[in-house]
Amino acid sequence: MTNVGDEAPDFTVPKAGGEAYNDLEAFTLSEAVSEGPTVLAFYPAAFTSGCTAEMCAFRDSMGLFDDLDARVYGVSVDLPFAQNIWIRAENLNFPMLSDWTHEVIHAYDVVLDDMYGMIEVAQRSVFVVDTDGVVTYRWVRGDENPDFEELVGEVGDAVEEAAR
């Protein structure tokens, strides 16, 4: 299990930028963290109501993260082509990372293995990683979805602390 104080498991996955359905490039966490605090917002599946509400809450608060020189990435097991379409449909202003091999959700121990009783997806969770590659904040969903605006505010506070 990845906890606060642990070195964040490194990974390389496709990054969906949202400019077109095939807007893809490689993303490696260890290369990205040097640019500022990094938020990894894991979500079960694009195009679902809870995930859309969560990612739109991040979208609507991007000014806060921009002011802190932080990078926000949504992470799911969706294929990057679907993520690109979803980014465009919801006017999301940050990229998505495609863990289509499920390696990242296992490395961070955020596996929801029975969505709809049949498929393995990311458990809704958020990690903040500082510029040294250390996890400084961890949140994993309990029984119910939180108030997403409050969650994003809490993540913003964690990013501000990580930026110090």
Can you read off the two tokens belonging to residue 128?
């903040």
Rounded Cα–Cα distance for residues 82 and 14 (Å): 12
Catalytic choice (32, 33, 51, 97) = 51
Can 51 be counted among the known catalytic residues? yes
Rounded Cα–Cα distance for residues 39 and 74 (Å): 8
Sign of torsion over alpha carbons 133, 137, 138, 139: negative
Longest dimension (CA), the chain: 43
Residues in CB range of 121: below 8 A, 6 or more apart: 44, 45, 76, 77, 105, 111, 112, 115
SS3 115: strand
Active site residues: 51
